[in-house]
Amino acid sequence: MSRAAPDPALTFGLEEEVFVLYGHSGQPRRTHLGSLWPMGGLLWQDPKRNWGGTATNFRRGAAARREVMSSVEVSTRVEYGAATLFAAALSRRAELSRSFTGGQLVALGSLPGSDRYHTAGLHIHIGVAPHERDRVYGNLAYFLPVLAWASASSPYFAGGSPGGPLSRVASSFALGELGPDPYERFQDLIITRRLGTIELRVLDPVPDPDRLWAVLRAVEGIARLPGTLPWSREDYNDLRRELLHAPGPALRERAAELEWRVGFDPAWTAHTEADRVRSHTDLFGWASTCAHLDGLWRSGEWQDLGTPTTPPPWWQGPAGFARYYLPRLPAIARKAYVENKKK
């Protein structure tokens, strides 16, 4: 097994998106604009921490007339390894859980009825010295299809029909094959204009803490590998297309290589979160799956905690917009400008 000495110049950060779902008994689970109210509560508990450490997303087009909200997001501070990043991620999950005493926290890449603008992801940022950035980017790209496979949690898409375990990756407007410009925003792996970090964008949400820990350890291990792996954009894009169709020999070989290089357990690709979600839904229904995913996010165990799902009162939508979104609007606009501007 090839391992490099720790590089103190490397840094790590994580952004997690999760859906907050409500619905009376027997009704479909949906997002609700009232989620902005508890997000505002989280913001003002620690404005310095949560001004840039939280975010909200909205649906677009015709679907927004029925359901305005999409996912909400929490992020960690900068950390220096997988262990502290993992601890920080669990701490952020606990903070979000305390803010949302009602509503099921469902960390999947897509939901039944999703469209290309109604998805959630797990984004990992890696800070690396400029002279090493291209090499580390390439090494991460070499193994990224395996990590995407291990994170797969998008078994459903438009209309609730099965769409493969990575429906989000196949359909989201915010992802795509790797092109010649690593700064182009809507790709699976980019170099961010705003932070200068390498950002893994392709990963689905990973609600299971054990799986999250395995993924974070693998990411750190890859980032610390010495030397340069034989990657190319064409190779990545070929493996990506294979992944979305059905993992074949090339992907299985790459997974085996990741195991001997950094110790990543291939069991995480043998059975995905998408597999568990589909099998549980087939047996017990979608409402039960949402309840168990909520328990997994809040407690780390696949269990129904009985979290209330009654939709918030109507006033929490506009009040939450004023409490959470309006104060942050200038910062949101600036962030969007920097991330999307051309070099």
Reported confidence tier of residue 239, pLDDT bands at 50, 70, 90: very high
Give tens-digit pLDDT for 155-165: 886 554 556 78
Average pLDDT over residues 84-98: 98
Quote the CA–CA distance of 17 and 179 in Å, as a whole number.
25
Q: Decide which of 90 and 334 is more confident.
A: 90
Nearest alpha-carbon partner for 123 in 56, 192, 50, 204: 204
- For the domain with range 11-340, which CATH number is right: 3.30.70.20, 3.30.590.20, 3.30.750.24, 3.40.50.300? 3.30.590.20
Tokens standing for 58? 């909205």
Q: Does 181 score more than 50 pLDDT?
A: yes
Reported confidence tier of residue 332, pLDDT bands at 50, 70, 90: confident
pLDDT of residue 2: 40
Give tens-digit pLDDT for 102-113: 999 999 999 988
> How much of the chain, in percent, has pLDDT values that exceed 90?
79
Q: Does 63 score more than 50 pLDDT?
A: yes
Q: Does 185 score more than 80 pLDDT?
A: yes
What is the DSSP-derived secondary structure letter of residue 70?
Answer: E
pTM over 0.85: yes
Give tens-digit pLDDT for 275-317: 999 999 999 999 999 999 999 999 999 999 999 999 999 999 9
Give the count of beta carbons closer than 10 Å to the beta carbon of residue 95. 17
Quote the CA–CA distance of 47 and 53 in Å, as a whole number.
9
pLDDT of residue 9: 81
12 backbone dihedrals φ, ψ, rounded to 5°: -140, 145
pLDDT of residue 26: 73
Average pLDDT over residues 132-153: 97
Asked if 335 and 54 touch (Cβ cutoff 8 Å), the reply is no
Nearest alpha-carbon partner for 219 in 128, 133, 92, 126: 126
Q: Does 121 score more than 80 pLDDT?
A: yes
Q: Does 34 score more than 70 pLDDT?
A: yes
pLDDT of residue 64: 87
Which H or E run includes 191?
A: strand 189-191
Query: Helix 233-245 crosses helix 133-151 at what angle (to 10 degrees)?
Result: 10
The pLDDT mean for the chain works out to 92
What count of residues does the chain have? 343
How far, CA to CA in Å, does 112 sit from each of 56, 159, 342?
20, 6, 35
For the chain, the structural domain boundaries read 11-340
